[in-house]
Chains A and B, each alone.
Chain A
């Protein structure tokens, strides 16, 4: 397509030169050379991008049960899925299975996402559509919190959630040392983000749609439920996925809060398997674990990628 647009320009110029045929051939050669150069650079970049991925995939298939790799191979001799089987049964030396770790990660990621979205969307709607006294101050209160990374308020959250504990007979329970405590600590930052991101998107939905609905006799509540919520579905999906992704790989809060192995999450287990001295974990097991943690969210991200980048920039730049 593009080269055919180029062709007439050459055709127009060519007659002006004495050796038209030679010039066209020279042009072709130059194009071929340019294409080869482009391909070389593109392939080099592709190699750099794929190198770590191939390394991990290759290691995860290594059946030799060597604890550390000593050479680079693409497909190791006698490739097998044994490392995956080992990891699913017992990833770390802690008495916790991979399904349990995955369930904990889903509870943390899903719980914090659901809570932040359910509470956040109505607030985002109010901030986008109503003008009420105190609105600007409340919005400022949300934006101010957005800037604070979770780890900066880790100390007060740890201390305060630790105060919520009781023991009845043999059963003792501590909110800090539970998945619910981790969820609450994540919501502390995820909720302001959800409000801000959703508000940015709702701002872009034309007001005329609700006004038409109001004229047809919709109350503001009905307009919210029947008009805004369906239209905001893409933003809800993106915010939900973004929240789930950050909950899925959450580390700081869970590492600080949780001490019982049955509550551990995937990212905690992965870190326990990383590094040369980690638990004597064979690197093939580490690699299999890395792939198991990354694959589900990566596939969904790849599928939603267009919407996620768009969704973030709508909320981020114009919010």
Chain B
């Protein structure tokens, strides 16, 4: 029915110039500020474009072929401690560890807020929404100061807690951001990774709770009543009713979270700055450093091309997962 109507409309408008007039302004602007820079970026990525080529009367940069692309993969870039594949690996681990934590916390807290007879539900809902509402950039800057070893609220708060158990204050001079040795032997994750994880989890779970709460409220109560009659335990009800019915809402939210967290510049740049020794650097922060600090515009252009390819692959995979779970339900 809808198909037929669409085709009927198509016949009417096929030769009309009207649709093109509607999209023209947007595409003229995008041609100048989006597509032309992207084409220029591809050209730049094959050159040694640098600071010297910026002046108006500067000579054109040299064509260097695939040098930038190869240099980035073999770590022949003039950034100390640069390691492309370690960074990519960390970027992926950062993304999945965050999203897994946010989704499980989000669902758990949504269930808590949905608990039968919970008092002050409205108050808690109002408070729990706050991390979502405050701009990420401001939160990142605040947490940067909170993780300060000398004056930060985290160490001071831990010291207050510790004093209850008779632990000395000096034990809580934790260098969250700068400590190089990994806190857990054998696992190559620095303390700053955990600081970042705490920051981003503080920010990230409320979104998942909002999504899960909406899905929980749309589950028909009769399912639970029927299961209760049949003698299903609370765990069985959760496992066989709640979880399958939450999945259609949580999977797209998780996929959105994956792309979002993968590109999360603000938290990494402001809280840890990618440190120590670039152990917590991700693609977007490195891209910024290549331009802002190293001024290697050619290499940065090549890096942008890699970033796009990696994101295309990631989006492709997340879409496949979304669709696979859709058909499974």
Contacts and interface: CB of A to CB of B under 8 A. Distances in A.
Interface string A83-125: 0000000000000000000000000000000010001101101
Contact of B118 (A38, A138, A141, A252): A38
Interface stretch (A14-22, A47-55, A232-240): A47-55
B153 A68 contact: no
Contact of A42 (B7, B54, B120): B120
B19 A130 contact: yes
B270 interface: yes
A162 interface: yes
B308 A122 contact: no
B162 to A, nearest CB: 13
Interface of B: 5-7, 9-10, 13-14, 16, 18-20, 22-23, 25-27, 29-30, 33-38, 40-41, 44, 49, 53-54, 56, 109, 112-113, 115-120, 124, 127-139, 141-146, 148, 150-151, 153, 156-157, 160, 202, 207, 210-211, 252, 256, 259, 263, 265-266, 269-270, 284, 287-288, 290-292, 297-298, 300-301, 303-304, 307-308, 311-312, 315
Contact of B265 (A115, A148, A151): A151
Contacts of B131: 49
20 contacts: A2-B116, A42-B113, A52-B142, A127-B23, A131-B13, A147-B312, A149-B307, A155-B300, A155-B301, A156-B40, A160-B37, A162-B54, A187-B29, A248-B135, A251-B265, A256-B292, A270-B137, A274-B145, A276-B150, A298-B133
Interface string A17-54: 00000000000000100010011011001101111110
Contacts of A251: 137, 265-266, 269
A115 B34 CA distance: 14
A305 B116 contact: no
A120 B213 CA distance: 32
Contacts of A35: 117-119
A61 interface: no
A94 B322 CA distance: 49
Interface in A147-206: 147-149, 151-160, 162-163, 165, 184-185, 187-189, 191-192, 195
Contact of B34 (A129, A151, A192): A192
B133 A158 contact: no
A309 B210 contact: yes
Between B38, B49, B136, B290, the greatest number of chain A beta carbons within 10 A of the residue's beta carbon is seen for B38
A89 B295 CA distance: 34
A310 to B, nearest CB: 9
Secondary structure at chain B's binding surface: helix, strand, loop or mixed? helix
Contact of A53 (B16, B37, B124, B130): B130
Contacts of A271: 141, 270
Q: How large is the interface on A (under 10, 10 to 19, 20 to 34, 35 or more residues)?
A: 35 or more
A42 B118 contact: yes
Central interface residue in B26, B37, B252, B301, by most chain A CB within 10 Å: B26
Contacts of A195: 26
Contacts of A38: 112, 115, 118
A215 interface: no
Contact of B142 (A48, A56, A305): A56
A11 interface: no
Interface string A302-318: 10010001000100110
A294 B119 contact: no
Contacts of B44: 155-156, 159
A155 B297 contact: yes
Contacts of A148: 38, 304, 307-308, 311
B224 to A, nearest CB: 11
Contacts of B266: 249, 251
Contact of B14 (A46, A132, A207): A132
Interface string A64-77: 00001111100000
